[in-house]
Amino acid sequence: MSVITLGIESSCDETACAVVKDGREVLSSIIASQADFHSQYGGVVPELASRMHVEAIVPCISEALKQAEVTYSDLDAVCVTKGPGLVGALLVGVSAAKALCEVKHIPLVGVNHMAGHIAANYLTDPSWEPPFLCLVVSGGHSEILLVSDYTKMEYICSTKDDAAGEAFDKIARVIGLGYPGGPKLDKASKDGNPQAYSFPMPKMGDTLDFSFSGIKTAALNTINQVRLKGEDVNVNDFAASYQDAICSILCDRLKKAVKLTGVTKICLAGGVSANSCLRAKVEDLSKKMRLQLCLPKMVYCTDNAAMIASAGYYSFRDGVTDNLDMNAYPSLELGG
Ligand code: KG4
Ligand code: ZN
Protein backbone atom coordinates (compact mmCIF):
# COMPACT_ATOMS: atom_id res chain seq x y z
CA MET A 1 0.00 0.00 0.00
CA SER A 2 1.42 3.36 -0.95
CA VAL A 3 1.65 6.19 1.57
CA ILE A 4 0.42 9.65 0.57
CA THR A 5 1.73 12.65 2.49
CA LEU A 6 0.67 16.29 2.26
CA GLY A 7 3.55 18.72 2.83
CA ILE A 8 3.03 22.26 4.12
CA GLU A 9 5.87 24.83 4.17
CA SER A 10 5.67 28.44 5.42
CA SER A 11 8.98 29.08 7.20
CA CYS A 12 10.00 32.20 5.26
CA ASP A 13 8.51 33.90 2.20
CA GLU A 14 7.10 30.95 0.27
CA THR A 15 3.71 29.42 1.03
CA ALA A 16 3.98 25.92 -0.38
CA CYS A 17 1.87 22.74 -0.36
CA ALA A 18 2.59 19.44 -2.07
CA VAL A 19 1.37 15.87 -2.28
CA VAL A 20 4.01 13.13 -2.43
CA LYS A 21 3.66 9.35 -2.79
CA ASP A 22 5.98 7.07 -0.79
CA GLY A 23 8.36 9.95 -0.08
CA ARG A 24 9.67 9.98 -3.66
CA GLU A 25 6.98 10.64 -6.25
CA VAL A 26 5.71 14.22 -6.43
CA LEU A 27 2.01 14.24 -7.35
CA SER A 28 1.73 18.02 -7.01
CA SER A 29 3.85 20.92 -5.78
CA ILE A 30 2.36 24.40 -5.39
CA ILE A 31 4.49 27.41 -4.42
CA ALA A 32 3.07 30.87 -3.80
CA SER A 33 6.19 33.05 -3.59
CA GLN A 34 6.23 36.44 -1.88
CA ALA A 35 9.76 37.24 -3.11
CA ASP A 36 8.67 39.93 -5.59
CA PHE A 37 6.58 41.64 -2.92
CA HIS A 38 9.42 41.72 -0.36
CA SER A 39 11.98 42.91 -2.93
CA GLN A 40 10.70 46.50 -2.54
CA TYR A 41 11.94 46.35 1.10
CA GLY A 42 15.29 44.73 0.23
CA GLY A 43 14.47 41.62 2.30
CA VAL A 44 11.69 39.66 3.98
CA VAL A 45 9.45 41.71 6.34
CA PRO A 46 8.34 39.05 8.88
CA GLU A 47 5.00 40.63 9.84
CA LEU A 48 3.96 41.02 6.20
CA ALA A 49 5.16 37.50 5.38
CA SER A 50 2.87 36.04 8.08
CA ARG A 51 -0.13 37.95 6.77
CA MET A 52 0.52 36.80 3.22
CA HIS A 53 0.83 33.18 4.37
CA VAL A 54 -2.60 33.49 6.02
CA GLU A 55 -4.11 34.60 2.71
CA ALA A 56 -2.35 31.94 0.64
CA ILE A 57 -2.40 28.81 2.77
CA VAL A 58 -5.95 27.49 2.23
CA PRO A 59 -6.03 28.01 -1.58
CA CYS A 60 -2.55 26.47 -1.74
CA ILE A 61 -3.65 23.29 0.09
CA SER A 62 -6.78 22.99 -2.08
CA GLU A 63 -4.78 23.40 -5.28
CA ALA A 64 -2.18 20.81 -4.20
CA LEU A 65 -4.92 18.24 -3.53
CA LYS A 66 -6.70 19.09 -6.78
CA GLN A 67 -3.60 18.80 -8.95
CA ALA A 68 -2.63 15.51 -7.26
CA GLU A 69 -6.20 14.25 -7.78
CA VAL A 70 -6.53 13.17 -4.16
CA THR A 71 -8.97 14.04 -1.37
CA TYR A 72 -8.43 14.50 2.37
CA SER A 73 -9.38 10.88 2.96
CA ASP A 74 -6.46 9.73 0.76
CA LEU A 75 -3.92 11.44 3.03
CA ASP A 76 -1.96 9.20 5.40
CA ALA A 77 -0.16 12.09 7.13
CA VAL A 78 0.11 15.87 7.08
CA CYS A 79 3.77 16.93 7.28
CA VAL A 80 4.47 20.53 8.18
CA THR A 81 7.62 22.59 8.73
CA LYS A 82 7.83 23.22 12.50
CA GLY A 83 11.17 25.10 12.36
CA PRO A 84 13.63 26.71 11.93
CA GLY A 85 12.31 29.92 10.40
CA LEU A 86 10.33 33.06 11.15
CA VAL A 87 8.05 32.25 14.06
CA GLY A 88 4.96 34.11 12.78
CA ALA A 89 5.36 32.56 9.34
CA LEU A 90 5.87 29.04 10.74
CA LEU A 91 2.78 29.36 12.93
CA VAL A 92 0.54 29.83 9.88
CA GLY A 93 1.57 26.47 8.38
CA VAL A 94 1.60 24.71 11.76
CA SER A 95 -1.89 26.01 12.66
CA ALA A 96 -3.33 25.04 9.28
CA ALA A 97 -1.82 21.55 9.54
CA LYS A 98 -3.11 21.04 13.07
CA ALA A 99 -6.62 22.18 12.12
CA LEU A 100 -6.64 19.80 9.16
CA CYS A 101 -5.40 16.87 11.26
CA GLU A 102 -7.94 17.53 14.02
CA VAL A 103 -10.94 17.83 11.71
CA LYS A 104 -10.05 15.05 9.28
CA HIS A 105 -8.41 12.70 11.84
CA ILE A 106 -5.09 12.52 10.00
CA PRO A 107 -1.71 11.97 11.77
CA LEU A 108 0.46 15.10 12.12
CA VAL A 109 4.23 15.06 11.45
CA GLY A 110 6.37 18.11 12.32
CA VAL A 111 9.36 18.40 9.98
CA ASN A 112 12.68 20.19 10.37
CA HIS A 113 13.02 22.53 7.38
CA MET A 114 16.68 21.57 6.87
CA ALA A 115 15.84 17.84 6.87
CA GLY A 116 13.35 18.81 4.18
CA HIS A 117 16.08 20.40 2.07
CA ILE A 118 18.14 17.20 2.36
CA ALA A 119 15.13 15.16 1.20
CA ALA A 120 15.14 17.16 -2.07
CA ASN A 121 17.77 14.63 -3.14
CA TYR A 122 15.29 11.73 -2.71
CA LEU A 123 12.91 13.59 -5.04
CA THR A 124 15.70 13.98 -7.59
CA ASP A 125 17.29 10.55 -7.76
CA PRO A 126 14.97 7.58 -7.08
CA SER A 127 17.93 5.42 -6.05
CA TRP A 128 19.58 7.97 -3.75
CA GLU A 129 19.75 6.68 -0.19
CA PRO A 130 21.85 7.12 2.98
CA PRO A 131 24.60 7.03 4.06
CA PHE A 132 25.93 10.20 2.42
CA LEU A 133 27.47 13.57 3.19
CA CYS A 134 25.30 16.60 2.50
CA LEU A 135 26.51 20.17 2.12
CA VAL A 136 23.53 22.19 3.35
CA VAL A 137 23.66 25.81 2.25
CA SER A 138 20.79 28.28 2.50
CA GLY A 139 19.96 31.79 3.64
CA GLY A 140 20.41 30.87 7.30
CA HIS A 141 22.49 27.69 7.22
CA SER A 142 25.90 26.43 6.09
CA GLU A 143 26.88 23.01 7.33
CA ILE A 144 28.02 19.56 6.31
CA LEU A 145 26.00 16.68 7.69
CA LEU A 146 26.62 12.98 7.76
CA VAL A 147 23.24 11.46 6.94
CA SER A 148 23.58 7.89 8.18
CA ASP A 149 19.88 7.03 7.78
CA TYR A 150 16.74 8.79 6.55
CA THR A 151 16.03 10.18 10.02
CA LYS A 152 19.54 10.06 11.49
CA MET A 153 22.06 12.80 10.81
CA GLU A 154 24.94 14.45 12.60
CA TYR A 155 26.86 17.68 12.08
CA ILE A 156 30.38 17.34 10.71
CA CYS A 157 30.91 21.10 10.64
CA SER A 158 28.99 24.36 10.39
CA THR A 159 29.50 28.09 9.96
CA LYS A 160 31.02 30.09 12.79
CA ASP A 161 29.27 33.27 11.66
CA ASP A 162 27.26 34.02 8.51
CA ALA A 163 25.53 31.55 6.20
CA ALA A 164 26.66 31.37 2.57
CA GLY A 165 23.27 32.56 1.29
CA GLU A 166 23.36 35.55 3.61
CA ALA A 167 26.89 36.40 2.39
CA PHE A 168 25.60 36.30 -1.20
CA ASP A 169 22.48 38.35 -0.43
CA LYS A 170 24.38 41.06 1.45
CA ILE A 171 26.99 41.74 -1.24
CA ALA A 172 24.42 41.46 -4.05
CA ARG A 173 22.47 44.25 -2.34
CA VAL A 174 25.56 46.45 -1.94
CA ILE A 175 26.54 46.15 -5.62
CA GLY A 176 22.98 47.05 -6.61
CA LEU A 177 21.59 43.69 -7.70
CA GLY A 178 18.67 43.80 -5.25
CA TYR A 179 16.75 41.01 -3.51
CA PRO A 180 16.90 38.02 -3.58
CA GLY A 181 20.61 38.45 -4.14
CA GLY A 182 21.91 34.89 -4.60
CA PRO A 183 20.17 34.13 -7.92
CA LYS A 184 20.92 37.63 -9.26
CA LEU A 185 24.59 37.34 -8.33
CA ASP A 186 24.68 33.93 -10.01
CA LYS A 187 23.21 35.41 -13.21
CA ALA A 188 25.56 38.43 -13.24
CA SER A 189 28.58 36.17 -12.70
CA LYS A 190 27.94 34.40 -16.03
CA ASP A 191 29.39 37.45 -17.86
CA GLY A 192 32.16 38.09 -15.33
CA ASN A 193 35.77 37.13 -14.75
CA PRO A 194 36.21 35.10 -11.51
CA GLN A 195 39.86 36.17 -11.29
CA ALA A 196 39.20 39.91 -11.50
CA TYR A 197 39.04 40.49 -7.74
CA SER A 198 40.72 38.47 -5.02
CA PHE A 199 39.53 37.80 -1.48
CA PRO A 200 41.33 36.37 1.54
CA MET A 201 40.51 32.74 2.33
CA PRO A 202 39.55 32.22 6.00
CA LYS A 203 42.23 30.55 8.12
CA MET A 204 40.44 28.09 10.36
CA GLY A 205 43.36 25.85 11.37
CA ASP A 206 42.45 22.17 11.42
CA THR A 207 38.73 22.70 11.89
CA LEU A 208 36.35 22.06 9.03
CA ASP A 209 34.06 24.90 10.04
CA PHE A 210 33.13 27.70 7.67
CA SER A 211 33.47 31.44 8.18
CA PHE A 212 32.13 34.00 5.73
CA SER A 213 32.25 37.21 7.76
CA GLY A 214 35.91 37.92 6.82
CA ILE A 215 35.32 37.53 3.10
CA LYS A 216 32.14 39.62 3.34
CA THR A 217 34.02 42.43 5.11
CA ALA A 218 36.87 42.23 2.56
CA ALA A 219 34.30 42.53 -0.24
CA LEU A 220 32.72 45.58 1.42
CA ASN A 221 36.15 47.19 1.88
CA THR A 222 37.03 46.63 -1.78
CA ILE A 223 33.74 48.17 -2.90
CA ASN A 224 34.27 51.20 -0.63
CA GLN A 225 37.87 51.73 -1.79
CA VAL A 226 36.83 51.64 -5.45
CA ARG A 227 33.93 54.04 -4.81
CA LEU A 228 36.18 56.44 -2.85
CA LYS A 229 38.24 56.77 -6.01
CA GLY A 230 35.07 57.93 -7.78
CA GLU A 231 34.82 54.66 -9.70
CA ASP A 232 32.46 51.72 -9.40
CA VAL A 233 33.08 48.00 -9.27
CA ASN A 234 32.49 45.97 -12.39
CA VAL A 235 29.33 44.19 -11.21
CA ASN A 236 29.72 41.06 -13.36
CA ASP A 237 33.42 40.60 -12.48
CA PHE A 238 32.78 41.26 -8.81
CA ALA A 239 29.85 38.80 -8.73
CA ALA A 240 31.94 36.12 -10.47
CA SER A 241 34.99 36.61 -8.20
CA TYR A 242 33.03 36.74 -4.93
CA GLN A 243 30.90 33.73 -5.87
CA ASP A 244 33.98 31.77 -6.88
CA ALA A 245 35.69 32.53 -3.54
CA ILE A 246 32.69 31.43 -1.46
CA CYS A 247 32.11 28.28 -3.51
CA SER A 248 35.81 27.39 -3.25
CA ILE A 249 35.57 27.52 0.56
CA LEU A 250 32.44 25.35 0.54
CA CYS A 251 34.04 22.83 -1.77
CA ASP A 252 37.29 22.73 0.16
CA ARG A 253 35.42 21.81 3.37
CA LEU A 254 33.37 19.17 1.58
CA LYS A 255 36.57 17.61 0.25
CA LYS A 256 38.05 17.55 3.78
CA ALA A 257 34.83 16.05 5.18
CA VAL A 258 35.01 13.24 2.61
CA LYS A 259 38.60 12.50 3.60
CA LEU A 260 37.72 12.61 7.31
CA THR A 261 34.69 10.32 7.14
CA GLY A 262 35.55 8.07 4.21
CA VAL A 263 31.97 8.47 2.93
CA THR A 264 31.87 8.19 -0.87
CA LYS A 265 28.44 9.72 -1.63
CA ILE A 266 27.92 13.48 -1.61
CA CYS A 267 24.99 15.79 -2.31
CA LEU A 268 23.84 19.36 -1.87
CA ALA A 269 20.79 20.90 -0.20
CA GLY A 270 19.28 24.35 0.44
CA GLY A 271 18.69 27.43 -1.69
CA VAL A 272 22.39 27.98 -2.48
CA SER A 273 22.55 24.48 -4.01
CA ALA A 274 20.93 26.15 -7.04
CA ASN A 275 24.15 28.13 -7.57
CA SER A 276 25.76 27.23 -10.91
CA CYS A 277 29.34 27.78 -9.71
CA LEU A 278 28.83 25.58 -6.63
CA ARG A 279 27.19 22.83 -8.69
CA ALA A 280 30.07 22.87 -11.20
CA LYS A 281 32.74 22.79 -8.48
CA VAL A 282 31.06 19.96 -6.56
CA GLU A 283 30.58 17.98 -9.76
CA ASP A 284 34.27 18.44 -10.51
CA LEU A 285 35.18 17.32 -6.99
CA SER A 286 33.04 14.20 -7.31
CA LYS A 287 34.80 13.26 -10.57
CA LYS A 288 38.29 13.86 -9.17
CA MET A 289 37.58 11.90 -5.98
CA ARG A 290 35.39 9.27 -7.73
CA LEU A 291 32.38 9.98 -5.53
CA GLN A 292 28.71 9.31 -6.17
CA LEU A 293 26.92 12.63 -6.56
CA CYS A 294 23.37 13.93 -6.38
CA LEU A 295 22.61 17.55 -7.29
CA PRO A 296 19.01 18.35 -6.36
CA LYS A 297 16.72 19.35 -9.24
CA MET A 298 16.53 23.13 -9.47
CA VAL A 299 12.81 23.20 -8.53
CA TYR A 300 13.60 21.45 -5.25
CA CYS A 301 16.67 23.55 -4.29
CA THR A 302 14.77 26.54 -2.92
CA ASP A 303 11.87 26.34 -0.47
CA ASN A 304 9.06 23.99 -1.50
CA ALA A 305 6.67 21.60 0.23
CA ALA A 306 7.47 18.43 -1.73
CA MET A 307 10.73 18.15 0.21
CA ILE A 308 8.75 18.53 3.49
CA ALA A 309 6.29 15.81 2.43
CA SER A 310 9.26 13.56 1.61
CA ALA A 311 11.16 14.13 4.87
CA GLY A 312 7.89 13.74 6.81
CA TYR A 313 7.19 10.45 5.05
CA TYR A 314 10.42 8.95 6.41
CA SER A 315 9.59 10.05 10.00
CA PHE A 316 6.05 8.69 9.62
CA ARG A 317 7.45 5.40 8.28
CA ASP A 318 9.55 5.21 11.49
CA GLY A 319 6.35 5.67 13.54
CA VAL A 320 7.14 9.26 14.53
CA THR A 321 4.10 11.57 14.72
CA ASP A 322 3.32 14.71 16.71
CA ASN A 323 0.50 15.70 19.03
CA LEU A 324 -1.78 18.62 18.35
CA ASP A 325 0.06 20.65 21.02
CA MET A 326 3.06 20.85 18.66
CA ASN A 327 4.41 24.41 18.41
CA ALA A 328 6.58 26.34 15.94
CA TYR A 329 10.29 26.37 16.82
CA PRO A 330 12.18 29.26 15.15
CA SER A 331 15.67 28.01 16.15
CA LEU A 332 15.08 24.28 15.77
CA GLU A 333 18.28 22.25 15.34
CA LEU A 334 18.46 19.10 13.27
CA GLY A 335 17.61 16.11 15.42
CA GLY A 336 15.08 18.25 17.36
O1 KG4 B 1 16.61 27.42 1.18
P2 KG4 B 1 16.17 28.77 0.83
O3 KG4 B 1 15.19 28.93 -0.30
O4 KG4 B 1 15.58 29.49 2.09
C5 KG4 B 1 16.15 29.28 3.34
O6 KG4 B 1 15.81 28.23 3.94
O7 KG4 B 1 17.00 30.12 3.73
O8 KG4 B 1 17.49 29.59 0.51
C9 KG4 B 1 17.46 30.94 0.19
C10 KG4 B 1 18.88 31.37 -0.04
C11 KG4 B 1 18.99 32.87 -0.27
O12 KG4 B 1 20.08 33.35 0.47
C13 KG4 B 1 19.22 32.95 -1.76
O14 KG4 B 1 19.93 34.10 -2.15
C15 KG4 B 1 20.03 31.70 -2.01
O16 KG4 B 1 19.40 30.72 -1.20
N17 KG4 B 1 20.01 31.28 -3.42
C18 KG4 B 1 21.11 31.31 -4.20
C19 KG4 B 1 20.69 30.90 -5.49
N20 KG4 B 1 19.36 30.63 -5.45
C21 KG4 B 1 18.97 30.88 -4.15
N22 KG4 B 1 22.38 31.65 -3.92
C23 KG4 B 1 23.26 31.58 -4.91
N24 KG4 B 1 22.94 31.20 -6.18
C25 KG4 B 1 21.68 30.85 -6.51
N26 KG4 B 1 21.39 30.48 -7.75
ZN1 ZN C 1 14.98 26.78 2.95
Residues 86 and 137 in one domain: no
Residues 310 and 267 in one domain: no
Cβ(304) to ligand 1 under 6 A? no
Using the predicted structure, report yes or no on whether residue 244 has a pLDDT greater than 80.
yes
Cβ(23) to ligand 1 under 6 A? no
Which one of the ligands is nearest to 116 CA?
2
Residue 330, domain member (yes or no): no
Residues 281 and 311 in one domain: no
Residue 31, domain member (yes or no): yes
Residues 231 and 138 in one domain: yes
Residue 215, domain member (yes or no): yes
| Percentage of the residues of the chain whose pLDDT score is greater than 70 | 100
Whole-prediction pTM value?
0.96
Helices 164-174/181-189 angle, 10° precision: 70
Residues 269 and 188 in one domain: yes
pLDDT digit string (tens) for 190-207?
999 999 999 988 777 778
Cβ(243) to ligand 1 under 6 A? no
Give the distance (Å) from ligand 1 centre to CA of residue 306: 17
The predicted pLDDT at position 203 comes to: 78
Residue 100, domain member (yes or no): yes
The predicted pLDDT at position 218 comes to: 95
Mean pLDDT in residue range 272-299: 98
CA gap 166, 251 in Å, rounded: 17
pLDDT digit string (tens) for 87-141?
999 999 999 999 999 999 999 999 999 999 999 999 999 999 999 999 999 998 9
Q: ∠327-88-329 over CA atoms, to 5°? A: 35
pLDDT digit string (tens) for 136-170?
999 989 999 999 999 999 999 999 999 999 999 99
| Percentage of the residues of the chain whose pLDDT score is greater than 90 | 91
CA gap 304, 15 in Å, rounded: 8
Averaged pLDDT of the chain? 96
Residue type at position 55: E
Residue 326, domain member (yes or no): no
Bridge-based pairing state of the strands 152-158 and 265-269: unpaired
Residues 234 and 273 in one domain: yes
Residues 290 and 307 in one domain: no
Which one of the ligands is nearest to 164 CA?
1
Cβ(116) to ligand 1 under 6 A? no
Residues 97 and 134 in one domain: no
The predicted pLDDT at position 206 comes to: 75
Residue 278, domain member (yes or no): yes
Q: How buried is residue 100: exposed, middle or buried, by Cβ count under 10 Å (0-12/13-18/19+)?
A: buried
Cβ(192) to ligand 1 under 6 A? no
Residues 311 and 279 in one domain: no
Residues 233 and 305 in one domain: no
Residues listed for the chain:
336
Residue 329, domain member (yes or no): no
Helices 87-104/46-68 angle, 10° precision: 40
Which one of the ligands is nearest to 169 CA?
1
Residues 262 and 311 in one domain: no
The predicted pLDDT at position 74 comes to: 98
Cβ(183) to ligand 1 under 6 A? yes
Nearest to 5 by CA among 105, 62, 76: 76
Q: Which domain holds residue 277?
A: 129-297
**Cα atoms in the Cβ-side hemisphere of radius 13 Å centred on 254:** 31
Across the strands, what pairs with 29? 18
Q: Which has the minimum average pLDDT: 11-15, 43-47, 71-75, 240-244?
A: 43-47
Atom of ligand 1 nearest to the CA of 113: 6
DSSP 19-76: EEETTTEEEEEEEEE-HHHHHTTTS--HHHHHHHHHHHHHHHHHHHHHHHT--GGG-S
Atom of ligand 1 nearest to the CA of 163: 12
> Alpha helices, DSSP H only, in the chain?
35-39, 46-68, 87-104, 113-124, 164-174, 181-189, 213-228, 235-261, 276-288, 306-317
pLDDT digit string (tens) for 297-327?
999 999 999 999 999 999 999 999 999 999 9
Residues 21 and 76 in one domain: yes
CATH number of the domain bearing residue 191: 3.30.420.40
The predicted pLDDT at position 65 comes to: 98
Between the alpha carbon of residue 70 and those of residues 7, 20, 66, 167, 268, the distances in Å are 13, 11, 6, 41, 31
The number of domains in the chain is 2
